[in-house]
Amino acid sequence: MKSNGRLILFTLILVVLATACKYLFGDNLAWSGFSPIIAIALFSGMIIRQKDLSFMLPLLALFISDAAIQLLYEMNLFPYAGFYSGQWQNYLLLLSATLIGWMMKGKSYGTLAAGGILAPTVYFLVSNFLVWQASEVMYPNSFSGLMTCYEAALPFFRNSLISTLLFLPVIVVLYNYLTRQKTALKLA
């Protein structure tokens, strides 16, 4: 299989993985946030040299998985819509993980682990700050309200942290296997 074919296969696998996780875990509050999307964005920043293209892989994976969930929702096969108001903020926040990947470059296990912790943490802090800021009814516009918002989102953070730390090495090994025919946990 040629290199382009392998990269297309790799992209398809990531899209299917993101969609499957959203379908399997999305409507279960205990598993909410368990997704490879942040790991895909982090990986993209670490490996794709063309900065503009490094944004495409995570956005493509997220958009296609959201579109699949939307289709299932419209067919009454899933409990919530794939597209909703304010969703553009999640797309922008996802790109912060790509930027973190640029900075980390994933040349050692330490940078992979640091990126795997930093990206979901930044996503958690900023996304929940935006939730708190936008919802005066649910969370009071005070420091206490902000802390309550963060506390309520801790299960989501736990799941996104665990899934990023789990999926990032899997994605790296899969990439190396498909592109270099080696099973390795290296990006450099």
Largest distance between two CA atoms of the chain? 57
Q: How far is CA 159 from the centre of its chain?
A: 11
pLDDT band at 72 (very low <50, low <70, confident <90, very high): very high
pLDDT at 135: 80
Distance of alpha carbon 151 from alpha carbon 154, whole angstroms = 5
What is the Cα Rg of the chain in Å? 17
With 70 as the cut, is the pLDDT of residue 32 above it? yes
Q: Each residue of 75-102: pLDDT tens digit?
A: 999 998 999 888 888 899 999 999 999 9
On average, the pLDDT of the chain sits at 89
Distance of alpha carbon 38 from alpha carbon 97, whole angstroms = 6
Residue 183: Cβ-neighbour burial (10 angstroms; 0-12, 13-18, 19+): exposed
The CB-based long-range contact list for 82-90 (8 Å cut-off, 24+ gap) reads: 86/134, 89/127, 89/130, 90/62, 90/127
Residue 50: Cβ-neighbour burial (10 angstroms; 0-12, 13-18, 19+): exposed
